Amino acid sequence: MGLTTIALVGNPNSGKTTLFNILTKSSQYVGNWPGVTVEKKEGRLRRGSTYNTDAVIVDLPGVYSLSPYSLEEVITRDYLINNRPDVILNIVDASNLERNLYLTTQLLEIGIPVVVALNMMDMVAKNKDILNADVLSAQLGCPVAEVSAVKGIGVVEAAKLALAQAKMAPPTPIKFNNAVEYALSQIEALVKKNSNTKKSARYYAIKLFERDKKIISNFSFSGIVRDKIEHIVKVCEAELDDDGESIITNQRYECITEIACTSLKKGHREVTMSDRIDSIATNKWLALPIFVLIMFVVYYVSIGSLGGFLTEWTSNTLFGTWLSGGVSGLLEAFEVAAWLQSLILDGIIGGVGAVLGFVPQMMILFFFLSVLEDCGYMARVAFIMDRIFKIFGLSGKSFIPLLISTGCGVPGIMASRTIESENERKMTVMVATFVPCSAKLPVIALITGSLFSKSAWWIAPSVYFLGIFAVALSGIILKKTHLFDNDTSPFIMELPKYQIPSLKSVMVHIWERSRAFIIKAGTVIFLACGIIWFLSSYGWDLKEAGQDGSMLADIGRMISPVFAPVGFGDWRAAVATLTGIAAKENVVGSLAVLLGHSADSSEMLFESVAGMFTPISAYAFLAFNMLCAPCIAAIAAIHREMVTIKWTLITISYQTLLAYAVSFLIYQLGSVIFLGAPVSIGTFTAILVLAFMLWLALRPDKRAQRVGIKL
Amino acid sequence: MASLHKVPIGKTVTVTKILGSGAIKRRIMDMGITKGTPVTIRKAAPLGDPLKISVRGYELSIRKADAKNILVE
């Protein structure tokens, strides 16, 4: 006999992942579903004397329903129908019985054995409710096991029950009222007669009754059969005065209300701890101050104090001195060729080290984020901030990614994964790197020091405002484009009860998030660093060359005319911008090398840089480097979240285009206004560009008219 | 009949009809807001939107724009 496959299905926040981690322990595999960002987790059932069967556990995305409207739901139902696991282990949050059973009623009709794992029974007891698992099992027509995922109680028994049930016949689905049952039986007969679908016929009948477009397109029915089905549905709709989809949903909840009535005895509900916390955390006056305080602490510890220290230590001491020094000594001892030494030390350790330097900072951030997420506060952040972010086509959940991006864009982009709406997630990924990250600070310092007097304290803050402005402008412009006009998913979010996060789950989160980043650093970034090192160390004749004789320098000279209209046609500025793609702090290093300084001689470097620019062109240069395509590590992160090459290209092209437009405006208009430069064709072009951008931002939003509401 | 977004905070009402179609309607109903279900408006977010409501024993955040589709009495 082959492997038994157990599919883990349940609502978000039902304790599914905790259960999965207990059942699989160490041997799990995390990957993406083909073509989408939703993670696919698979693990071997932990072997022990308790099981005598080998089994694979597949952790499906947390879903509320099997509707065709969200990615996670489509993935879940397609997996169940097409891959046909041997048994479904359905995790049900017993303290939220009705909504959780809604999914159960849908799982029961697929034609695969189902076992319900009743989680969080302790919460039921706390609410002074009494839930009778045996009565529930009898009513659902499938085995029910009580578990406590957090404490690990009953989990092994539930898995055993599932393994035993895998060999049994599938359950009898929940029955709806007579009119609906009559219609469904007719459709089911038509499906069986006119297609070779033998399994899951009731599931398909219900989907056809709901007029589920994704399912209808699976069948190649003749026109007559189609008409027959449509007629059956219409008759039933007329009788019950509702549309097919709503009839089914209503029927399910009516059955559930009945089941809950008999199996669950509601006690007198008291004000819980969770209620008390929430009355403070989302209080009209206290919510925002508390939120600011928490964010300040998270930011200060992970990016400012502890995180900043660790990053510096990792980049400078660990990679810079110890590893670099150790490897350099080794290479010299073995008399390795000079070019190879340079590749390993400058290219690989220098480049990958700069990226890996952010790992400790990220892990601290992820620690805080996991704690905030697991305890339930993150949903409240979204609740509090949604009103503001909605204006820019973002969601309340976009705040966290943007905050993290002030430290490093890579974890910022990765944090966008918690945003359910695909549009808002993509939008967040597109704008996250506009916020100046810590690697951009040296560039700001260089330009400020070189071209602006010490009294110009406002330069650095203005760059942050520029970033926030770019986020807001992009949100307003992009949400009206056709790229984002397919979103119809409403912002309806569960506000889970507050709970104390489990250390284990927090650790698993940190590890999973960091791992993805480290793997990227070891592959894509590793390769990119090697290539950039090669281009900047060799000439076209493949002989070693200084920075100004290298292939990269030639490429810089070739593209520098492109930058002339935005104020930095100097090829050295162009090359510096290019090397910024490896890591933004490279802009400073490259300028220093190209201008013939060591990076330490800042006063002289300032003078040389001052000679290259006017204050206006310097600010345009700064603006371009802040907003354009981010470093290779961030591009890799964008690609990971966007999945398709198309969306990755759209993102970095949009960012570069916006950067070019903004610096063009700054240079052309700024030179005329502040430096008294003569009005030229460039000035008029700039006015046209400005007008075009204003039009993009101010034109009416077709979507807003559809779902709009005056507030 | 009134829309849910106009119901005063603290009041419990019963759902009579869900307007709209497709994803929005289905999502609202999937979360348990169906005909005949009691819904309590718990509070509004500090900036006025979204709303926090409780339904079927749990809590939900819903934008006023979406709540407009829910008719109650």
Tell if the CB–CB gap between B47 and A388 is shorter than 8 Å.
yes
In this predicted structure, the answer to whether residue A452 has a pLDDT above a threshold of 90 is no
In this predicted structure, the answer to whether residue A535 has a pLDDT above a threshold of 90 is no
Question: Is residue A34 very low, low, confident or very high in pLDDT (cuts 50, 70, 90)?
Answer: low
> Tens digits of per-residue pLDDT, A324-375?
888 888 888 888 888 888 778 777 777 677 667 777 877 887 888 888 888 8
Q: What is the spatial distance between Cα A404 and Cα A704, in angstroms, rounded to a whole number? A: 30
Q: Is the pTM of this model over 0.90?
A: no
Of A580, A593, A650, the residue nearest A621 (C-alpha)? A580
Question: Is residue A484 very low, low, confident or very high in pLDDT (cuts 50, 70, 90)?
Answer: confident
Task: Give the residue with greater pLDDT, A47 vs A636.
Answer: A636
Question: Is residue A321 very low, low, confident or very high in pLDDT (cuts 50, 70, 90)?
Answer: confident
Tell if the CB–CB gap between A489 and B23 is shorter than 8 Å.
yes
ipTM: 0.96
Q: Which whole number is the average pLDDT over A193-208?
A: 89
Residues of A in contact with B26 (CB under 8 A): 65, 67, 69, 245, 249
Tell me the DSSP string of A413-477. Answer: HHHGGG--SHHHHHHHHHHGGGSPPGGGHHHHHHHHHHHS-TT-TTHHHHHHHHHHHHHHHHHHH
Tell if the CB–CB gap between A492 and B56 is shorter than 8 Å.
no
> Tens digits of per-residue pLDDT, A580-609?
887 787 788 778 877 777 545 567 888 888
Number of domains making up chain A? 3
Q: Pick A495's closest partner by Cβ from B27, B59, B65.
A: B59
Q: Is residue A618 domain-resident?
A: yes
Q: Check whether residue A152 and residue A282 sit in a common domain.
A: no
In this predicted structure, the answer to whether residue A178 has a pLDDT above a threshold of 50 is yes
Q: Check whether residue A154 and residue A62 sit in a common domain.
A: yes
Q: How far is A403 from chain B (nearest CA, A)?
A: 20
Contact between A365 and A298 (Cβ < 8 Å): yes
Task: Kindly list the structural domains of chain B, giving each domain's residue range(s) and its CATH number in brackets, ordered by start.
Answer: 2-72 (2.30.30.90)
- The whole-number pLDDT of residue A640 equals 83
Half-sphere exposure of A3 (CA within 13 A, CB side): 15
Please say which residue of A233, A265, A297 terminates a domain.
A265
CATH code, domain with A9: 3.40.50.300
Among A131-135, A376-380, A501-505, B63-67, the minimum mean pLDDT is found in A501-505
Tell me the DSSP string of A390-401. Answer: HTTT--GGGHHH
Q: Check whether residue A520 and residue A586 sit in a common domain.
A: yes
- Average pLDDT over chain A reads 86
- The whole-number pLDDT of residue A318 equals 81
Question: Is residue A517 very low, low, confident or very high in pLDDT (cuts 50, 70, 90)?
Answer: low
Interface check for A377 against chain B (CB to CB < 8 A): the answer is: no
- The whole-number pLDDT of residue A77 equals 93
**Tokens representing residue A437 in the block:** 């990250």
For residue A298, CA distances in Å to A259, A294, A302, A401, A566 come to 45, 6, 6, 13, 38
Q: Kindly state the percentage of chain A with pLDDT values over 90.
A: 40
Q: Is residue A171 domain-resident?
A: no
CATH code, domain with A209: 1.10.287.1770
Q: Check whether residue A444 and residue A574 sit in a common domain.
A: yes
Q: Check whether residue A231 and residue A327 sit in a common domain.
A: no
Q: Which whole number is the average pLDDT over A260-289?
A: 88
Q: Check whether residue A414 and residue A515 sit in a common domain.
A: yes
Interface check for A512 against chain B (CB to CB < 8 A): the answer is: no
Q: Check whether residue A486 and residue A630 sit in a common domain.
A: yes
Please say which residue of A140, A165, A190 terminates a domain.
A165
Q: Is residue A245 domain-resident?
A: yes
Among A136-145, A313-322, A548-557, the range of highest mean pLDDT:
A136-145
Q: What is the spatial distance between Cα A22 and Cα A334, in angstroms, rounded to a whole number? A: 48
> Tens digits of per-residue pLDDT, A275-301?
899 999 999 999 999 998 998 888 788
- The whole-number pLDDT of residue A487 equals 59
Q: What is the spatial distance between Cα B32 and Cα A411, in angstroms, rounded to a whole number? A: 35
Q: Is residue A581 domain-resident?
A: yes
- The whole-number pLDDT of residue B55 equals 95
In this predicted structure, the answer to whether residue A35 has a pLDDT above a threshold of 70 is no
Q: Is residue A558 domain-resident?
A: yes
> Of B4, B19, B25, B29, which to mutate for an interface test with A (greatest number of A Cβ within 10 Å)?
B29
> Of A214, A282, A492, A497, which to mutate for an interface test with B (greatest number of B Cβ within 10 Å)?
A492
In this predicted structure, the answer to whether residue A20 has a pLDDT above a threshold of 70 is yes
Contact between A586 and A579 (Cβ < 8 Å): yes
Of A563, A558, A538, A562, the residue nearest A549 (C-alpha)? A538
Q: Check whether residue A218 and residue A137 sit in a common domain.
A: no
| A625: three-class secondary structure by DSSP | helix
Tell if the CB–CB gap between B29 and A249 is shorter than 8 Å.
yes
Tell me the DSSP string of A154-180. Answer: SHHHHHHHHHHHTTSPPPPPPP--HHH
Q: Which domain holds residue A674?
A: 271-711
> Of B33, B43, B63, B69, which to mutate for an interface test with A (greatest number of A Cβ within 10 Å)?
B63
Q: Which residues make Cβ contacts (< 8 Å) with residue A565, sequence separation at least 6?
A: A664, A667, A668, A682
Q: Is residue A172 domain-resident?
A: no
Q: What is the spatial distance between Cα B43 and Cα B31, in angstroms, rounded to a whole number? A: 19
Residue-level pLDDT, tens digit, chain B, 73 residues? 799 999 999 999 999 999 988 888 999 999 999 999 999 999 999 999 899 999 999 999 999 989 999 999 9
Please say which residue of A165, A186, A216 terminates a domain.
A165
Q: Check whether residue A260 and residue A292 sit in a common domain.
A: no
Q: Is residue A158 domain-resident?
A: yes
| B60: three-class secondary structure by DSSP | strand
| A148: three-class secondary structure by DSSP | strand
**Tokens representing residue A539 in the block:** 């000439």
Q: Check whether residue A228 and residue A330 sit in a common domain.
A: no
Q: Check whether residue A591 and residue A703 sit in a common domain.
A: yes
In this predicted structure, the answer to whether residue A388 has a pLDDT above a threshold of 70 is yes
> Tens digits of per-residue pLDDT, A37-54?
566 788 888 766 566 678
Q: Check whether residue A257 and residue A281 sit in a common domain.
A: no
